Amino acid sequence: MTPGIKARLSSPPPAAATPSHPPSPTPDAFTRLEEKWDQFVVMFHRYKEKTEKELQAAVRLQAAARGFLARRQVQSLRGEKHLVVASRATPWPSSHEQVVVRLQAAVRGFLVRRAVRKLHLLISSSLHQLAACAPNQQVSSILFEPPAEVEIWEDRRT
C-alpha cells in the first residue's frame, strides 16, 4: 500500500463528515412527501377501480357465455327428446357406458400390442439363435429378406 492510503485508513474521518444526528428535514420536504403520498393514493385508487371494472367485465362475459351454452344444451336436449319420441328409437347409451366402452377398447388394444411385441421378440431372438448356430446362406436369407406373402386374418365373429 502507498503511504497516502495507509494514512487514510489509519486516521479517523474528520468530524464534519460524521454528524451526530441526521439533518432535520425542511418543511418544504414534508410538503413534497405529502404530495407524493397523495399522488400515490390517487394512482392506487385508479388502479383498484380499473382492476375491479375488468373483473366485473370478465364476470359478465363468463355469465353470458355460460348462459349461451346452457341454452344451446337445453335446445339440443329438447331436440333429442322430440326425435326419440317421434321415431321410438332405442336411446343412446349413457355417457358412463360410452366411457366404459372406450376404456375397454383401450385396454384390449394395449393387451394385443403387448402380446404382438412379445411374439416379435420371441421370434427374432429364436431366429438370431438359429443364425448363430448354423451360419449358412439359407438362414440369413430367412432373417433379412422380407416375407414374400403376408396373410391378413380378419375377425369374422361380427
- SS3 readout for the chain: CCHHHHHHHHCCCCCCCCCCCCCCCCHHHHHHHHHHHHHHHHHHHHHHHHHHHHHHHHHHHHHHHHHHHHHHHHHHHHHHHHHHHHHCCCCCCCHHHHHHHHHHHHHHHHHHHHHHHHHHHHHHHHHHHHHHHCCCHHHHHHHHCCCCCCCCCCCCCC
pLDDT in tens, 38-90: 999 999 999 999 999 999 998 998 998 898 888 888 888 877 666 555 555 55
73 and 44 in one domain?
A: yes
Residues 76 and 104 in one domain: no
Residue 65 lies in a domain: yes
Residue 153 belongs to some domain of the structure: no
Task: Round to the nearest angstrom and report the end-to-end CA distance of the chain.
Answer: 99
Whether residue 88 is found in the same domain as residue 105? no
Q: Residue 137 falls within a domain, yes or no?
A: yes
CB neighbour class for 139 (10 Å; exposed up to 12, middle 13-18, buried from 19): middle
Domain termination site, one of 92, 107, 123: 92
Contacts for 91 with CB less than 8 Å, ≥ 6 apart: 84
> Do 83 and 89 meet the contact criterion of CB atoms below 8 Å apart?
yes
Say yes or no: 84 and 39 in one domain: yes
Residue 32 in this model has a pLDDT that exceeds 70? yes
Do residue 56 and residue 111 come from a single domain? no
In a domain, 79, yes or no: yes
Over residues 86-140, the pLDDT tens digits come to 555 555 667 888 888 888 999 999 999 999 999 888 888 887 777 777 656 555 5
151 vs 44, higher pLDDT:
44
Q: Cell for 53?
A: 371494472
Q: Do 36 and 81 share a structural domain?
A: yes
In a domain, 120, yes or no: yes
* 51 and 103 housed in the same domain: no
In degrees, rounded to 5, the angle at the alpha carbon of residue 138 between the alpha carbons of residues 135 and 141 is 100
In the listed set 76, 92, 108, which residue is the last one of a domain according to the structure? 92
Span 6-24, mean pLDDT? Answer: 60
The answer to whether position 81 is within a domain reads yes
53 within a domain of the structure (yes/no): yes
- Domain limits at 131? 99-144
Domain total of the chain: 2
Q: Output the pLDDT for position 19.
A: 55
The pLDDT assigned to 81 comes to 66
* Cα–Cα distance measured from residue 151 to residue 113, given in angstroms and rounded to the nearest whole number: 18
User: pLDDT at position 8, please?
Assistant: 62
67 shares a domain with 104: no
User: Cβ contacts of residue 44 below 8 Å, gap of 6+?
Assistant: none
Query: Residue 4 has what pLDDT?
Result: 64
